[in-house]
Amino acid sequence: MLLAITHLPSPALQHCELTFLKSEPISMEIANLQHQAYCAMLERCGAKVIVLDENLACPDSVFVEDPIIVFDEVAVLTSMGVESRRKESEAMERVFSKYRKIERIVLPAKIEGGDVLKIGKKIFVGESARTNKEGIEALKTIIKPFGYEVIAVKVTGCLHLKTGATALDDKTIFINSHWVDAEAFEGFAKVEALNDEPFGANVLKMGNILCMNEAFPKSIAHIKSLGYTVDSCNISEFVKAEAGLTCMSVPFLSND
């Protein structure tokens, strides 16, 4: 069964961590409606959606991807790149221990799930503002025994790797090469993000459906023109918090 773990937006979302963007007013009324639409999109893609509310006091808790990285064999609790988000870990461990054995990455190694792009057995990990070399090595130590290859990717212009690079399929990357080192994806076909929609390269792949942000209509039209099936929703309020579609859920196959 395909599950997708999500979390209700925190009433304190306005106080989220920002690295590359300036703070803008966030409407919680709109954010809550957009989160509901996001969950509905996941359901249309065949996922059973589980909505958590354990970390409502944490401003960034809606971004459930960052505290945990889920593989078929194990779930890795991350060390998080900023101190304010480390309070989220306890609830994440409790939730995901129902589905996977839990391993933990500890400081000074830093890593967040938004920097981890899984394509088959190749695991691309962004070296970014939130993930350091030690974090990448720690993840490699945990998952290498399961046959995964970890490949480091320099990220310079955006918060996480998946802000600027995601997979359209197992052989094709949608990438903003101004932000992410495209050379790390040797052997993959590359579709370049549009200059006037630089955040459009964040795509959530759910089976054969690509979920995209309605704020980037040119990107959606471009990906459709390449023959992909696209579903979409509007997450404008979460984009103000440096978010993309990928960071708002943790999709994985239940072993039940």
Rounded CA-CA distance 7/36 in Å is 11
Q: What's the residue count for the chain?
A: 256
CATH of the domain at 70: 3.75.10.10
Angle value at C-alpha 161, between 213 and 196, nearest 5 degrees: 45
CA dihedral 45, 188, 166, 142 (to 10 degrees): 100
* pLDDT per residue as tens digits for the range 20-53: 666 678 888 999 999 999 999 999 999 999 999 9
Nearest to 62 by CA among 54, 71, 73: 54
At residue 16, does pLDDT exceed 70? no
**Which pLDDT score, from 0 to 100, does residue 170 have?**
96
CA dihedral 233, 250, 161, 60 (to 10 degrees): 80
Rounded CA-CA distance 5/46 in Å is 13
**Which pLDDT score, from 0 to 100, does residue 243 have?**
79
Pick the range with the lowest mean pLDDT from 18-27, 60-69, 82-91, 117-126: 18-27
Rounded CA-CA distance 251/210 in Å is 13
Helix (H, G, I), strand (E, B) or coil at 6: strand
Q: How far is CA 153 from CA 171, 200, 205, in A?
A: 17, 19, 20
The catalytic site residues sit at 160, 247
Residue 157: pLDDT band by 50, 70, 90 thresholds?
confident
Residue 148: pLDDT band by 50, 70, 90 thresholds?
very high
Residue at token pair 């955040």: 199
Mean pLDDT taken over the chain:
93
Nearest to 55 by CA among 43, 64, 47: 64
> Average pLDDT, stretch 129-145?
97
Q: For the sheet containing 122-127, what is the strand order? A: 116-119, 122-127, 149-154
Pick the range with the lowest mean pLDDT from 11-20, 88-97, 180-189: 11-20
The number of domains in the chain is: 1
pTM above 0.85, yes or no: yes
> Average pLDDT, stretch 173-183?
97
Containing domain of residue 75, as a range? 2-253
Rounded CA-CA distance 217/25 in Å is 23
Q: Which residues contact 203 (CB under 8 A, 6 or more apart)?
A: 166, 167, 168, 174, 210, 211, 212, 223, 245, 246
In terms of Cβ atoms closer than 10 Å to its own Cβ (0-12, 13-18, 19+), residue 255 is exposed
> Average pLDDT, stretch 81-102?
90
* pLDDT per residue as tens digits for the range 227-248: 999 999 999 899 888 778 999 9
116-119/122-127 β-pairing = antiparallel
* Cβ neighbours around 78 below 10 Å, total: 31
Helix (H, G, I), strand (E, B) or coil at 151: strand
